Amino acid sequence: MAAYSFLLSGRWIAWFLLCCIGAVLCLYLGSWQMSRADAMTARNDLIVNNYDAAPLTDDDAVGALTGFDGSQQWHPVELTGSYLPEDTLVVRNRAHEGVIGYEVLVPFQVTSGEIVALDRGWIPTSEAGDGSPSEIPAPPAGEVTVTARLQPAETDLRRDSAEGQIASVSVEQAAELTGLPLVTDAYGQVATEEPAPAAAPESFSMPDLDYGPNLSYALQWDAFAVLVFVAYGYSARQKVRNDQWDREYAAQIEDELSRYYDDHGNFVSQGDGMTEEDVVRRLEMVDDMPAHLKDIMRPKRVKRTFSVVDAEEEDALLEAYESRR
Range of the domain at 157: 73-194
Interatomic CA distance for residues 325 and 311, integer angstroms: 21
**182 part of a folded domain:** yes
Kind plus residue range of the DSSP H or E element containing 150: strand 144-152
- Whether residues 170 and 84 fall in one domain: yes
162: pLDDT confidence band, cut at 50, 70 and 90? confident
pLDDT, residue 290, reads: 63
- Whether residues 125 and 235 fall in one domain: no
Specify the pairing of strand 115-123 against strand 186-194.
Answer: parallel
- Whether residues 289 and 249 fall in one domain: yes
| CB-based burial, 140-170: b 16+ in 10 Å, e otherwise | beeebebbbbbbebbebeeeebeeebbbbbb
Interatomic CA distance for residues 123 and 104, integer angstroms: 7
**309 part of a folded domain:** yes
**278 part of a folded domain:** yes
pLDDT, residue 225, reads: 96
**Helix extents (H) in 258-275:** none
Interatomic CA distance for residues 41 and 30, integer angstroms: 16
pLDDT higher than threshold 80 for residue 97: yes
Q: Express each pLDDT in 110-154 by its tens digit.
A: 999 999 999 999 999 988 878 889 999 999 999 999 999 999 999
Give 133 or 276, the one with higher predicted confidence.
Answer: 133
- Whether residues 158 and 243 fall in one domain: no
CATH for 139: 2.40.50
Closest among 65, 176, 169 to 121, alpha carbons compared: 169
- Whether residues 151 and 263 fall in one domain: no
Angstrom CA distances, 135 to 107, 117, 125, 191, stand at 18, 20, 9, 20
**312 part of a folded domain:** yes
Give 199 or 271, the one with higher predicted confidence.
Answer: 199
Angstrom CA distances, 189 to 17, 54, 120, 202, 263, stand at 54, 16, 6, 11, 101
- Whether residues 186 and 251 fall in one domain: no
Chosen domain end from 194, 209, 237: 194
Q: Which of 156-160, 213-217, 320-324 has the lowest mean pLDDT?
A: 320-324
Note if the pTM is more than 0.95.
Answer: no
Q: Cα 44–102–51 angle (5° rounding)?
A: 25
**15 part of a folded domain:** no
Domain total in the chain? 2
- Whether residues 184 and 78 fall in one domain: yes
**81 part of a folded domain:** yes
pLDDT higher than threshold 60 for residue 293: no
Q: Express each pLDDT in 21-79 by its tens digit.
A: 999 999 999 999 999 999 999 999 999 999 999 999 989 999 999 999 889 999 999 99
**51 part of a folded domain:** no
- Whether residues 186 and 239 fall in one domain: no
**Going by C-beta distance under 8 Å and a sequence separation of 6 or more, which residues neighbour residue 231?**
19
pLDDT, residue 56, reads: 94
- Whether residues 169 and 277 fall in one domain: no
Q: Is-contact 116 144, C-beta < 8 A?
A: no
- Whether residues 250 and 190 fall in one domain: no
pLDDT higher than threshold 90 for residue 181: yes
pLDDT, residue 301, reads: 58
- Whether residues 184 and 230 fall in one domain: no
**186 part of a folded domain:** yes
- Whether residues 182 and 237 fall in one domain: no
Chosen domain end from 194, 217, 252: 194
Mean predicted confidence (pLDDT) in 292-318? 58
